[in-house]
Amino acid sequence: MSSTEAPARKARPRTVSHSRDFGRGFFVKLALVALVDALGVYIAMTAFGEGAMGVFWGMVAVLVAVNWVYFSRRTLPMKYLVPGLAFLLVYQVFTIGYTGYVAFTNYGDGHNSTKAHAVDALLIQNEKRVEGSPSFPLVVVDDDGELGFAILDGDTVRVGTAEDALRPEPDAVVADGTVSEVPGFTVLSRQEVLQRQNEVTGLRVPVSDDAEDGSLRTQDARQGYIYRSSLEYDEATGTMVNLETGVTYTPNDRGQFEAPDGTRLPVGWRVTVGLENFTTAFADARYATPFFKVLAWTFVFAILSVAITFFLGLFLAIVLNDERLWFRRVMRSLLILPYAFPAFMSFLLWRGMLNKDYGFINTVLLGGAQINWLSDPWLAKVAVLGVQLWVGFPYMFLICTGALQAIPSDVIEAARIDGAGRMRIWRSVTLPLLLVATAPLLISSFAFNFNNFNILEMVTEGNPRFPDASVPVGATDILITMVYSISGLDGGAAKNYGLASALSIVIFVVVATISVISFRRTRALEEIH
């Protein structure tokens, strides 16, 4: 080595500074996780207060997982997966699980909550004014929107709300025998009381923490009276006793209090009923007869919706894929306009145009005809399929256009060189390659139309109704709208969430089975072609 050459220096391992871990990005992450924690803690506390322990522990587990993942150095991949997994857990897994649970219960009108809530409701509903009880001068007070009563009990002012029993308020002010000021409350004027009259007359303020002491109520917002329930609940035996008749009601396996003669109190609670809801759906004539009619129409509607929109979209895509056609881009733009227009607006417009008396189709296109498009069972089905064709064909047109343009031109050219004619090329080359690209979308379109609630509810509302059905179901109802009617959410029938959930499980099984089989056939098609 010459004297002028510097000796080689041994490379030293470089140390990475972690000071940037506490830079701006860290504090942004800290703030975002803090917001998630705050929301999660609020949900967990609410669930705990309502007694929903499953939701409580599930939220605790989610919060622990989120904080561990985002503050650990060894969970980088999970940082990208956790948000999606959390939403999947909340909006899919939990929803399916809870629906499955409700399907095996009697959840519905008269059985909406727990036994404790049912006991409270029964005691409240059977309250009567205590004969000979004194009246109390009363004013209505407000605490941030929560109403309460302030009464003059001798020389003592007592105040309470629906949640808090009456308690003495020594700092209240009394003027001319009436309570005029209550610390922490606003005394409502007569005009304000009249504006909230229904709330005032329906308000009950417990006299004490013991429910058997009754509650304070008023009818004129000036005088209050003591009401007590004619029922008494015995926690030791779990029975309800009618104090007027002496009849004892014991809890039965249906979630209701039942007397020895079979009489039942109207308010019950949720209990597990096993497969009863599924048996009702398939065996009870009240539900089974319309159920199978609706099931058949659901398949017809879903299959025809996919078929007619696909073939029309495919036809238009083939026509406009010809390079010799003028103004192709303009026509393509015009054809996708129905897809760009909000679907629910299209449904409402078509409903108006299909009106018998003043609809555009009857009065203009058909010269004043009186056709009951939405009242006749068969015409209503044709009308729904027509509206679905208008709304759905642009989507099929777009995917078919994309699939046709994605087919390599050299494949078509090779088939022509081999002597294949136009129909042979279409049948053996173009169509198989087209189906490989569009089959998954057709499957998803079938699943969507199998549960296409919006079009049926907005165009026909399931009408016309079956004349021989004891449930509010009609000729154009599909399973999902039947579930909506049976659940009672449309206000047309008693609520039966258990039966509605059982039917939802049936829909899920049907769609899942068909989707799995279809995707397997699609995979086989891909392997062949």
pLDDT tens, residue order, the chain (529 aa): 444 444 555 555 554 444 445 667 788 888 888 998 999 999 999 988 877 788 889 889 889 989 999 888 888 888 889 888 888 888 888 888 999 999 999 999 889 888 988 998 898 888 888 887 789 999 999 998 899 999 999 889 999 998 899 999 999 999 888 899 999 999 999 999 999 998 998 899 999 887 778 899 998 899 999 998 899 899 899 999 998 899 999 999 999 999 999 999 999 999 999 999 999 888 888 888 889 999 999 999 999 999 999 999 999 999 998 888 888 889 988 998 888 889 989 999 999 999 999 999 999 999 889 999 999 999 999 999 999 999 999 999 999 999 999 988 888 889 888 888 888 888 888 888 898 889 889 999 999 999 999 999 999 999 999 887 777 889 999 999 999 988 886 655 678 999 999 999 999 998 889 888 887 877 655 554 5
What burial class does residue 372 get, using C-beta atoms within 10 Å of its C-beta: 0-12 exposed, 13-18 middle, 19+ buried? middle
Question: In this structure, how many other beta carbons lie within 10 angstroms of the beta carbon of residue 117?
Answer: 14
Token pair 């561990």 is at which residue?
Answer: 68
For the chain, what percent of residues have pLDDT higher than 70? 93
pTM: 0.76
Cα 314 to its chain centre, rounded Å, is 35
Nearest to 395 by CA among 453, 325, 313: 313
Mean model confidence pLDDT for the chain: 88
Residues 6+ apart with CB under 8 A from 422: none
Half-sphere exposure of 425 (CA within 13 A, CB side): 17
Q: How many residues are present in the chain?
A: 529
DSSP string, 388-409: HHHHHHHHHHHHHHHHHHHS-H
Q: What is the SS3 assignment for 123-144?
A: HHHCEEECCCCCCEEEEEEEEC
Pairwise CA distance, residues 441 & 133, whole Å? 73
pLDDT tens for 283-318 read 888 888 889 999 999 999 999 999 999 999 999 999
Q: What does the buried/exposed string (b/e) look like for 229-248 if buried means 16 or more CB atoms within 10 Å of the residue's CB?
A: bebbbeeeeeebbbeeeeee
Domains contained in the chain, CATH given? 24-103 (no CATH), 113-126+231-269 (3.10.650.10), 130-229 (2.40.430), 282-528 (1.10.3720.10)
Place of tokens 């417990």: 206
